[in-house]
A and B are shown apart, each in its own frame.
Chain A
Amino acid sequence: MKELLILISKDILKNRTIIAFAILLFCITWSVFILEDSNEKALHTLGNLVLMVVPLISILFSTIYIYNSTEFIELLVSQPLKRKSIWMSLFAGINVSMIFALFVSIFLPILFYSPTYLGFLIMLLAIFLSAVFISLGFLSSILFKDKARGIGFSMILWLFFALIFDGLILFFLFQFSDYPIEKPMTVIAALNPIDVSRILLLTEMDNEALMGYTGALFQKQFGSIYGKMIIVCILVLWVFIPYYFSLIKFSNKDI
């Protein structure tokens, strides 16, 4: 298990995609800090960026990596190794290398320019979001045997959570604006891992007042320690549940 984890992490860190991703994100992060006049403003920009880019890269990278290592997985399965530990090592390996890439590209600039509470929160959310979307990537790569379909499904998942979900919520808010649905809607929004992270960021950025009633609701529902714990629980569940399903699928898969 340990050997396998080291092996996979090494393999991924040599991967060109992850290196390119780290360099790109690194450039963006530095330029955001240099261009924005205050560090806090830069953190806001960075927060929004992390919410969009990290999920996309995580889900695409993990899906493609699993498909590309089909041969390697085949080799591993014929060895005296538990299937569960093979899958776990893959998951842990991708997570470790993703965290490493994030560390170099986002965490270092944050630690250098603005090692504040908000900065740490963004780092934490980046780690959580990457884990959630790696887990979703595992699920879609095990659900579809065909590579193109699997990657397509991953893209749809990302689109859904990053854009479509918000659109739907907005649609319902307008359609049922005569009814008091703000409260249930905030709860529904909290079911989306990206939205829940955004809510957490917003409540910490102290600009929810700009968002009127909904912002006040967010603050009321998620601003307390209790609310934050709920948010963290939701994120943990989002990491665990898709991964767990993919693990069960993988344990019974014919290779």
Chain B
Amino acid sequence: MNIEIQNITKRFNKVTALENVSTSFSSGQCIALLGPNGCGKTTMIKTILGMVIPSAGVIKVNGKNIHNDYIYRNDIGYMPQIGKYPANMTIKEVVETIRKLRKPEKDIDLELYFSFKLDEIENKKMNTLSGGTIQKVSACVAFMHNPSILILDEPTAGLDMIAMEVLKEKILKEQAKGKLILITSHQLNELEEILTHVCMMDEARILFFRSKEEIKISTQCDKLATAVYSLFKNIKS
């Protein structure tokens, strides 16, 4: 499982969200995608998912160009930053719907569904849920089909402490199976233990993409967050 990004550029009218970005992620890695607000993280994730169509460049998932393809998304579980669901559906209906829409009926992994205790409130409608609960539904949906690539956009935002531990545990478990996990987040401290790599973006470009150990050694910092911050400052100045 790998994702290859080659010279991707994306412009929205006059705003450039991605400028000639190239990188590649491979299985077994758990990558934190970092960067200041509006640096193009979400756009990058959305181009991988085919939701945003790049102005130039090629993205390959498992060696296949994703342009005009959709089957590759069977291998991807996506947890959006702000999960949006049809207001009138219940939690159960949302999960059922997505299960039905995924064609090859793989084994369904409902571990998160039960550990988040969504089964107890499964008949609640989506528009009555709090932001955190919607995040839980999103997480559950992303992990449900046992995908080999997991893309989590701000998974920790809005989750309570217990839910976050549950999610972290689940991510560790999936990572042990050799999955490729891509996380965007601002809270490095919370994710430090599960990460293997850090990919820093700034002003529509990738600033650096290194492994956790490499960053720590090169900056001689013990804490990942401080290490990343000092590296960021070094490169910028």
Contacts and interface: CB of A to CB of B under 8 A. Distances in A.
Same complex: yes
Interface stretch (B48-56, B178-186, B209-217): B48-56
Interface in B83-98: 84-88, 97-98
Contacts of B72: 80
B117 interface: no
Interface string B172-194: 00000000000000000000000
B51 A255 contact: yes
Contacts of B98: 75, 79
Contacts of B73: 78-81
Contacts of A4: 101
B103 interface: yes
A72 B86 contact: yes
* B51, B74, B78: most-surrounded residue (chain A CB, <10 A): B51
Nearest to A2: B100
Nearest to A71: B84
Contacts of B235: none
A83 B52 CA distance: 12
A79 B101 contact: yes
A14 B86 contact: no
Given A3-B100, A4-B101, A7-B97, A78 B85 contact: no
Contact of A79 (B53, B87, B102): B102
Chain B, interface size: which category?
A: 20 to 34
Interface in B29-61: 46, 49-53
Nearest to B43: A254
Contact of B85 (A11, A72, A82): A72
Given A83-B70, A254-B12, A78 B51 contact: yes
Contact of B101 (A69, A81, A252): A81
B142 to A, nearest CB: 9
B70 A11 contact: no
A229 interface: no
Interface in B76-134: 78, 80, 84-88, 97-98, 100-103
A82 B88 contact: no
B102 A80 contact: yes
Given A252-B53, A254-B51, A255-B51, A80 B84 contact: no
Main secondary structure of the interface of B (DSSP, over half): loop
Interface string A1-38: 00110010001001000000000000000000000000
Contact of A77 (B50, B71, B74, B88): B50
A14 B90 CA distance: 14
Contacts of B87: 71
A83 B49 CA distance: 12
A81 B53 CA distance: 15
B218 to A, nearest CB: 36
Contact of A80 (B12, B51, B74, B100): B74
B214 to A, nearest CB: 32
A3 B78 contact: no
Interface in B160-177: none
A134 B103 CA distance: 29
Contact of B70 (A7, A14, A70, A80): A80
A69 B52 contact: no
Interface in A61-77: 69-72, 74-77
Nearest to B71: A80
A81 B76 CA distance: 12
A69 B86 contact: yes
Nearest to A72: B86
Contact of A74 (B50, B51, B97): B51
Nearest to B147: A80
B112 to A, nearest CB: 17
Interface of B: 12, 46, 49-53, 70-74, 78, 80, 84-88, 97-98, 100-103
25 contacts: A7-B100, A11-B88, A70-B84, A71-B85, A71-B86, A72-B86, A74-B51, A74-B80, A75-B98, A77-B50, A77-B51, A78-B49, A78-B51, A78-B80, A79-B101, A80-B71, A80-B103, A81-B70, A81-B73, A81-B101, A254-B12, A254-B46, A254-B52, A254-B53, A255-B46
Q: Which 8 A-B pairs have the closest CB atoms?
A: A71-B84, A80-B73, A254-B52, A80-B74, A72-B86, A255-B51, A3-B100, A78-B78
